[in-house]
Structure 1
Amino acid sequence: IRLGGSKMSKSKGNLVAPEDILDKQGADALRLAHLQVKPPQEDVDWEDFGIDGCAKFLNRVWRLAVPGSDLTKVVRSGDETEADFNVDRAAHRLVARITDEYDRWSYNTAIAGFMEFTNMLYRYVQEEDGPHAETLDSAVDALLLVMAPAAPHLCAELWELRRGDHVHLEAWPAADPSKLLDDNVTMVVQVNGKVRDRLEVPSDVDEAGAIERALACEKVVAILAGGEPRKVIARPPKLVNVVV
């Protein structure tokens, strides 16, 4: 870490005492600032540390997760809506993403993932009908579990308030693979190996469905001119190659 263009060291007397930061913004804010500023293998200037921004983010997480928050007073139960399903899928994708980024020591992008997911949850709880109680609880729990290594004090306190247990004794969450798939994917349509079109298709489209869509697209219909293809090679949902 550099300060004023020079590496921090006792001999140069260019150190930053952490006491004021710990008193004002907290240890977790300082920890997050270290993690999010740059990849760990790169040098960084102290002036680039966004400690205030990290402290504000942690305050947003607290307001979202603490029981009895004014932000989550209005919740609903019963059948889940498309918005609820989207939040649930996003929570599983968050777990998969953060697990991968921790494994790669990509802490700065993991912090960005926390912030993006928190922003999404704020939009969700502010919808006119309010959030679905179980969906919101599950999503917030997922956020706290994957954030715990990066913000251990805040997550431990919130988890104890919410669940009565210690978050650092919980098992690491596992993402449901079925919820990591996009609803739609882009399928490439080729004719004799040359790309002719790209179609949006369901991620679970089968071979027959992929072929049907490929043969129905305008560019393939024009090339076939009423004839039949010699062969169709399908690799759903990514590719269909029409051989004429």
Structure 2
Amino acid sequence: MQINIFGTADRSGLEAAKVSAQILEAAIAKQGNARIVLSTGASQFAFLEHFIKMDIKWDKVEMFHLDEYIGLPESHVASFRKYLKERFLQFVSIKQAHLVNGEVDPVQEVARLNEEISKAPIDLALIGIGENAHIAFNDPPADFVDEAPYKVVNLNDTCKMQQVGEGWFATLNDVPKQAITMGVQQILKSKHIISVVPNLAKADAVVNTLSGKVDPLVPATILKTHDNWQLYLDQHSASKVVQWCDE
């Protein structure tokens, strides 16, 4: 585990983008291609702004993303497909993008995604941490055992309130009740994991992740078991980590 703390979310995102580019370029040099998993949400804005400007052979990169709401149209502001198309895919000529479609039969979509992602290892996964310490939409108590690459999950109210708080939905009742998400074990199979986690709203989740034992009630704690996990914080998300370290 490597913890990186910078003064601003922008600087944290920039440094994470630089390291991500190095990882992808090393994978491409070694095997001729690379596979990546991307996160979405407000916490990834700065990272993606810098990531799309990195000197990467994008035509050698295959992309998956973590999750998508079931039943939410792509035209909705909260759609993760819409998010990735507007903030990433329109700027890079990527080899292939495997977007999660929550508007089709979820059983068939999960089967399709599981087949695609199982074809080769993931070189780099960008895994954010939610306010309830979820990773992807694996809310607490998270299933640390299930080997399914993707699956359908129910979203808890804390997770849904984060989406309301970030402005993606007007009320709790507007947030879909279910989503398709990448499972914990699939995330851990990634060769490298980078978590970009800025902003004060994430301070509790960050300190609980770093100070506690591996616990399904704090899903992000499982990332500490990964040999190549890097965490990028800003001064706000790290504020309680610094206090904890001083105690």
TM-score, with length taken from structure 1: 0.26
Indicate the structure whose relative CO is greater, using CA pairs within 8 Å and at least 6 residues apart: 2
Question: Greater share of helix residues, 1 or 2?
Answer: 1
Larger Rg: 1
TM-score, with length taken from structure 2: 0.26
